[in-house]
Structure 1
Amino acid sequence: MNSLYDEFRVALHSVWTRRWLVLAVAWGICILGWLAIASIPNRYDSRARLLVDVNQILPDDTPGGLGAQQQVDQIRATLTSARNMEKVAVTTGLLPAAAGEREKAGAVAMLQQNIKVVPQQDNIFEITSSIGVGSLSDADNAKLASGVLDSLITVFRDDQLRGGRIDAREGLKFLDAQIADREKALREVEARRAAFEASNIGLVGGGAGSPAQRVDAMRAEINQIDSQLVAAQAALAAANGQLAQTPATINVPGAPATGAGVARQQLAGAQNELAQMRAKGLTDAHPDVIAVKSQIAALKAQAERDGNGGGGGNAQNPAYASLAAMRAERQATVSALGARKAQLTGDIARITSQQIQNPGVAAEYDRINGEYTALKAQYDKLLAQREQVRLRGQVQTETDAIKVELLDPPSKPTTPSAPNRPLFLTAVLLAGIAGGIGAAFGLAQIRTSYPTAARLERASGLPVIGSITEVVTPERQVERKKRLVWLASGAGALVALYALLLVAEFVQRGLVA
């Protein structure tokens, strides 16, 4: 412990013996440091809060439009755009009227670096400008900080009023050009398709759709016809069964006999119907043919009985006539469905045969139709987008699509935000004192000496008999006091200069206020 104390005393003595070096180094460091701090311009911050409200009249999912959140994000990105910064620099006088491109780029970069936009909520922004131009006074920098925000908000409002309408006009112009190009391309494809159909008559069918699409449509129609045909044939069979069980004439007592004429007429009609069925290719095993044959046999028997005479008069059965008409109608329906199915089957066979015989023609026709379909879809989509852009342009023209409201106006700064000169001045003073002490201590370590007898004894390895202290004469004592006064005056002057700089800093701040 005593050894550590002795080392401390030795170090303190070595510094004290070089006290003038400590004072000189401290003065040098403080003067240089304070000059460097004085060359740093004061920066003044101004803050404002802005509300950007998007009037969302049209829905977010409208084609060709942006949602409310996307518009707010876009506003946040373009608020400090280079175009706006250049307008602000010109308005506030940072850029002269005849500034070059390099000066413009420098002013824009400086403003973009010193203007911060911080979103507090979805549509509320806090804007901060920090201005410190070395060529301007503190009062001018403080005034410029709030002026930059005023100019930025004004430019932003003007851009929002004009920008939406300009964007709508430019969007309509672009969409009109795209629609004209698609329309021209559609006409060219239509002309090529018509020419291809004309040059390949019999190989491809006219009309919309490729051969494969037409075949698919025909097959779907055949499936529907099959279900309808089954129902129609069932209804016809039911009508035939009812007609076979219903007599063609009824015996009316007291009525004059009609003879066999009616039965023979019905027999002739049934035989004619049988002939038509066979002409259509129906065999004897067909249910309709069997029913008609049964009816013919019954009519023949009835005609023979009527020819032989009877006890009463015969009259035509109304129920039989109604069933006959119903059966004829259902038979016509079955015949029409069968004919349509046969026609579709023949068309499918013809198209399939053409595709097999001429595969290149069908492939080319499919390619032309696919190109036409794609162009038509793009054309329809562009038409819908143009209508939506037109509606949005009307909304922005007739209403305030984006409302900009200043919640807190730009503040007027009275104290600099940076640098913290009192703290820096104090830090430089302490650094100067520490630097002087460190220089004196380091010089003492470089120059080898033995301040105590014990250190000399350890270094030489020889016993030290004794030591002689310094003898100070009265004249020497007076000289020392005089030098101490000078030292104290130098140190006091350094502290006084530090205090003067602090007072000047606070006085300068008061002048800005």
Structure 2
Amino acid sequence: MDSLIAQLMAVFKRMWRYRWPGLIAAWVVGVVAAVVVFVVPDRFEASARVYVDTQSILKPLMSGVAVLSNTEQQVNMLSRTLISRPNVEKLVRMADLDLRATSKSDQEALIERVTRNLSIQTASGGSNNLYILSYRDSSPEISKKVVASLLSIFMESSLGTSRRDSTTAATFLNEQIKNYETKLEEAEARRKEFRLRNLQLTAADGKDSAARLAEASNQLEAARLQLREAVSARDSARSLLDIEQKRSATGGSLASLMQESAQKFATPELDNRISELKRNLDQLQQRYTDQHPDVLNTKRQIKDLEDQRRKEVADLQKAALASPAAAGGRNDSLANQELARTLATKEVEVAQARARVDEFSSRYNSAQGAIKLAPQLEAEFAQLNRDYDIIKKNYTEMVERRESASLSTDLDNTSGVADFRIIDPPRASPKPVAPNRLMLLAGGMVVALLAGLVAAFAASQVRPVFHDLNELRHRLELPILGAVSRQETSEDRRRAKVDLLRFGVASGSLVSLYALGLIGMAIWLSRQGG
């Protein structure tokens, strides 16, 4: 601490040595500051207050039907971006400020000055929709005119921005709708081409490939059963024809022939099915009771097949008996012809059944081949449908939004973006609001004193001197053998006192002049305020 105090005292002593250059610098800066304070022109401020009413009764009524813009956000953003170069250039022309500028550099300086002096603020402590527009200039009339022009631009820009946004939105939506119409037509064409190329997948019966394969398999089995039955009936008719031919040739008895025919009238297809069902019935009866549904169903099938077998055998026997009875009055050739016609009919039925089997076999093979491609085709068709659904959904949404945007435009044109209410019209202050000469003068005095101190300190650093042996020993780092002191005379002490008195008068005069100036300016300002 002692070392710090010693260093400060050494600095003060060196500055005291150059007190007169510092005082001269303080006087120069003080005089210049005072002249600047009194030369700066007065600035007058004009302002206007406007309230922006963003509430409308149509908003709750049209909610969900039209796109309601955030009017408060639009106005807030407009107030923040209103002071832009295009608007300032327009403001300069409206307020006739460009008449002052004769060159391009003057115009640029004018635009920069107007931009710097313009201000748009929200009222403090009040609603955010209450705005204060202000401008400062050396002329109160020009300030008022600039504020009036700025207020007009502020009110016109809101409506113009809304209309430009509506037009831009409508143009964009129309372009998007046209694009989606083209995409939708292309997607519909792809779906149509896919349906025509894969009719087996997109058949109108609503069945998939597995269902069609099962149906083809059932139809094939039924056709094969009919073929076997037709073959059995044909074989029976052929047996009857053979019996008749033998009887006619050998003249054998009817009983023996009927016995032989009964053996040949056997139906192997039905017999095989009956035997298979009986074996299944034995297995079911070993596991279930006679009242079990499977047992009852199997018995019913066996009974139906036996009845069918008896009916077929009876028909064949009846045909065989009819031939000898008719032969009693006719010759054997007529019976043979009748049996031959019956055999021909059965041959036709067999051919028809075989053709039906071939047709259903072809369908079954086609369905079996289609089921292998079904997953790939279904995936492709699902992708087409997914793309088509997305495009159609977007197209529908775009059309709905275009109608909503059209309704919103009509709503904005009807009700306007907002209702502007001028609370205070543009008005210029009768007294200047700037500069604050009292504060500037006090600041000038402080700056002058600081300038004197800085000048003395700078001079002491340029030409330093040593006032203490310890400081000299510390700076030179050499041993000091001794010091020679100066003997002051009475004349030296008198000159020192006179110099100190002169310095005090000079510095006191500077402070006193500034103090008198502050007092006089305060009195003058208070009289203007009264």
What SS does structure 2 have at the residue aligned with 1:204?
Answer: coil
Aligned equivalent of 1:299: none
Query: Among residues 439, 443, 448, which one is paired with 1:423 in the alignment?
Result: 439
Alignment of 1:447-466 (within 5 A): 448=465
Aligned equivalent of 1:57: 58
CA separation in 2, counterparts of 1:12 and 1:375? 87
Alignment of 1:392-431 (within 5 A): 392-431=408-447
Q: Residues 473 and 114 from structure 1, CA distance in 2 versus in 1: closer, same or farther, beyond 3 angstroms?
A: closer
Amino acid across the alignment from 2:443: A
The 8 Å contact of residues 122 and 128 in structure 2, kept in 1 or not, is answered as no
Alignment of 1:34-113 (within 5 A): 34=34, 44-54=44-54, 55=56, 57-59=58-60, 62=64, 65-67=67-69, 70-79=70-79, 80-81=81-82, 82=84, 83-95=86-98, 107=111, 111=115
What SS does structure 1 have at the residue aligned with 2:490?
Answer: coil
The CA deviation string for residues 109-131 of structure 1, in whole angstroms up to 9 with x for no partner, is: 96278424336556523335353
CA separation in 1, counterparts of 2:66 and 2:391? 19
Amino acid across the alignment from 1:205: T
Deviation at 1:9, TM superposition (A): 12
What SS does structure 2 have at the residue aligned with 1:385?
Answer: helix
CA separation in 1, counterparts of 2:195 and 2:102? 68
Query: Within the alignment, does 1:203 sit opposite 2:207 as a pair?
Result: no
Amino acid across the alignment from 2:490: E
Query: Within the alignment, does 1:127 sit opposite 2:143 as a pair?
Result: no
Aligned equivalent of 1:384: 400
Alignment of 1:338-357 (within 5 A): 354=370, 356-357=372-373
Deviation at 1:58, TM superposition (A): 3.7
Aligned equivalent of 1:188: 186
Aligned equivalent of 1:316: none
Q: Residues 444 and 157 from structure 1, CA distance in 2 versus in 1: closer, same or farther, beyond 3 angstroms?
A: closer
Q: Residues 215 and 496 from structure 1, CA distance in 2 versus in 1: closer, same or farther, beyond 3 angstroms?
A: farther
Aligned equivalent of 1:151: 149
Gaps of 5+ in 1: 1-6, 220-281, 290-349
The 8 Å contact of residues 15 and 459 in structure 2, kept in 1 or not, is answered as no
Aligned equivalent of 1:118: 122
The 8 Å contact of residues 71 and 417 in structure 2, kept in 1 or not, is answered as no
Deviation at 1:432, TM superposition (A): 1.9
What SS does structure 2 have at the residue aligned with 1:205?
Answer: coil
Amino acid across the alignment from 1:25: A
The 8 Å contact of residues 53 and 123 in structure 1, kept in 2 or not, is answered as no
CA separation in 1, counterparts of 2:64 and 2:102? 46
CA separation in 1, counterparts of 2:172 and 2:11? 83
Amino acid across the alignment from 1:188: E
CA separation in 1, counterparts of 2:527 and 2:367? 98
Query: Within the alignment, does 1:470 sit opposite 2:490 as a pair?
Result: yes
The 8 Å contact of residues 29 and 432 in structure 1, kept in 2 or not, is answered as yes
TM-score (normalised: structure 1) = 0.53
Aligned residues: 373
Q: Residues 420 and 205 from structure 1, CA distance in 2 versus in 1: closer, same or farther, beyond 3 angstroms?
A: same
The 8 Å contact of residues 67 and 405 in structure 2, kept in 1 or not, is answered as yes
CA separation in 2, counterparts of 1:390 and 1:72? 21
Deviation at 1:76, TM superposition (A): 0.9
What SS does structure 2 have at the residue aligned with 1:158?
Answer: helix
The 8 Å contact of residues 89 and 108 in structure 1, kept in 2 or not, is answered as no
Amino acid across the alignment from 1:433: L
CA separation in 2, counterparts of 1:101 and 1:19? 46
Query: Among residues 441, 452, 476, which one is paired with 1:436 in the alignment?
Result: 452
CA separation in 2, counterparts of 1:105 and 1:24? 37
Aligned equivalent of 2:31: 31
Query: Among residues 381, 385, 389, which one is paired with 1:365 in the alignment?
Result: 381
Q: Residues 116 and 101 from structure 1, CA distance in 2 versus in 1: closer, same or farther, beyond 3 angstroms?
A: same
The CA deviation string for residues 5-52 of structure 1, in whole angstroms up to 9 with x for no partner, is: xx9999999988866435412222223444665786665554443221
Structure with the larger RCO, 1 or 2 (CA within 8 Å, 6+ apart): 2
TM-score (normalised: structure 2) = 0.52
The 8 Å contact of residues 149 and 410 in structure 1, kept in 2 or not, is answered as yes
CA separation in 2, counterparts of 1:8 and 1:176? 81
The CA deviation string for residues 71-103 of structure 1, in whole angstroms up to 9 with x for no partner, is: 211211122333444432332344569997996
Structure 1, 25-34 or 415-424: larger mean CA deviation? 415-424
Task: State, as a whole percentage, how many aligned pairs show the same letter.
Answer: 21
Aligned equivalent of 2:177: 179
Deviation at 1:386, TM superposition (A): 1.7
